[in-house]
Structure 1
Amino acid sequence: MTIRLPDAQGGFRSYEPRAEPLMVAPGTPFTSRTVYAAAHVVADPYADVSPDAPAAVDWDATLAFRRHLWSHGLGVAEAMDTAQRGMGLDWAGAAELIRRSAAEARAVGGRVACGVGTDQLTGPATPAEVRAAYEEQLALVEESGAQAILMASRALAAAAKGPEDYLEIYGHLLRQAAEPVILHWLGPMFDPALEGYWGSSDLDAATDAFLEVIAAHPDKVEGVKVSLLDAGREIGIRRRLPQGVRCYTGDDFNYPELIAGDEQGFSHALLGIFDPLGPLAAEAVRVLDTGDVPGFRGLLDPTVELSRHLFQTPTRFYKTGVVLLAWLAGHQSHFAMVGGLQSARSLPHLARAYELADGLGLFPDPKLAEERMKTLLSVYGVNQ
């Protein structure tokens, strides 16, 4: 059997779906790398909400997906941009997500780290108001028992006059943090409002400011997540980090080589692409744990084409492809997203995502994925 898929040129092609999935069973805990998957949220498809209304979340399905990731040994990076933070999920929804996910992690023994931002601010803010917003969210994450990830702040990007404002606010937050945190540098390709973060659009100057914050508080920074889609810059940052501070790659274009590392070090991982790649990524890391770098690359390198497709510009809409694949894989019963973001990618884009994911064997039930893809295509008027 074949499926008729639309292509980017306005035509159609026939694709023969894979008959069997890639079989990956849960295994032993990782020993060589710490790995987080930034997880998506599952919308409540029956909620009567408008695109700009507070998100309606299917909590049961959302938490079930996190249990799926934990079962394969992955940590969950919660309430990050993959969870549509700032793109459909407001602070009230994120706060509830953090509470529920942290409680679920305790119940099953899963690792969880949660995003701390300033998205309760809805208009222009002063640096003092930005700091207070961060403090409120940091307190909630710490009270939940989760590790904090200090995310980049749109409000701070707008309010800061230069690097000194970043140094002051981050320094204050790090001094009061109860436990070491992960610092997150999210590039403007993921969120255009973050252009010029760390006080400069010159990445060399911004990198210096970022590293100055860490150097002043190395005991309060467990690691840094770098999401710039620039492998060379990440390696440069990694080599300048103080002893004991980890680098978590957030590079969804170059993750295999960055995790594998070189003679001077390697990156751990905190990646949105590990949401759909969870079991396969976990298996690859277990292979790496044995010292088998070629085996690790052999498993993970073929996934890069899918990742680069999902994260193509405008990169911030990668969540649409992530949720499509979760639906096709049977992790949720529908292809609906908070804020109506399921409409953010074209049908040819979604069709190619299906084809690439199926080719990798990511769908536990390839027949179910095929039937669901055909259903989606029929809504667009594509007859088989």
Structure 2
Amino acid sequence: MTAVTADATPGGRSARGLVELVFRARELSLVAALAVLVLVTTAVNPNFLSGQGVKDIFLNTSILALLAVGQSLVVITRNIDLSVGSVVGLVAFCTGKFVSADPTGRGVLTALVFGVAIGAVCGLLNGLLVSFCRVPALVVTLGTLYVIQGLDHYIAHGQQINAVDLPPALLHLGNEGVLGVPYLPVITVVVMLAVGYYLRSYPSGRDFYAIGSSPEAARLAGVPVRRRVLAAYLFSGALAGLGGVLWLARFGTVVADPARGWELIVVSAVVVGGVAIVGGVGTVYGAVLGALLLTTIGSALVVLKVNSFWQQALTGALLLLAITVDRVLAVRVTRLLRKRSVRHGA
């Protein structure tokens, strides 16, 4: 399913395949851009591809990519979630405070359940307001962003969570791995594969694309639009909660609102990764590639000793380019489908 409507006729099925092929080229272009970026940076500084350098890139990408997976479901349904960064901050601090109160009795599993539950509650609130109260998603999630930030600062009261107060197993999750591969990227890849398989293989997963393509048509086709949008926000919030726990495990020391501004980076990663901001198009694989590209650009600029301002400028330029490309491709594909439809009708 895509943002371009295609019927169930043989011509419609071939048109749908054409649309999928065109937009899948976006993901291949991201891989090519990553390869060029890595090759150029390595040519200038061979240490960029050292074992520790590669490990740092994957660790730095993991949480952003995890949030991008959740955000993808929301954007595919033609909505947006600007509260994910504040949810990460709230969960990271609250979970740290919770487990540090009894570091021997509250281990990794307890921390994960606690953090995901907080994130899910935040996502549920967003989903109810957007899907059932029909408040615009931009207004709802911008409002909850500030509410959650304020709640985080109120709970923190200027305090700080220190790594020495956390269970060693939790810190091990964030900084160690298996067979040389850190746990955080493994978790992200597992989540990505599971969500990607669900969206492609299950009718309920394809409903998200139908809603993004045309909410009214999806409703007439019997798709439970409100429930699916609610589920998208619930899932995005739960993954943001998981991201908050992993943030705590990764960095150990946490203050109030540590992920301030991440909501825009997450949206940028999703859109750069080929998930159309108008909904109905994209995959979680592309979103993760977008997150990896943005993180690699940041690491490359540090290695090349370029001012960090240019990372923000490049991110903005990539975002504008991605939206422009989406629009151009959508217009051209629509014209091509109309021509095929006329020929098929003739």
Q: What is the TM-score of this pair, normalised by structure 1? A: 0.27
Q: What is the TM-score of this pair, normalised by structure 2? A: 0.30
The structure in which a higher percent of residues are helix is: 2
Larger RCO of the pair (alpha carbons < 8 Å, separation 6+): 2
The structure in which a higher percent of residues are strand is: 1
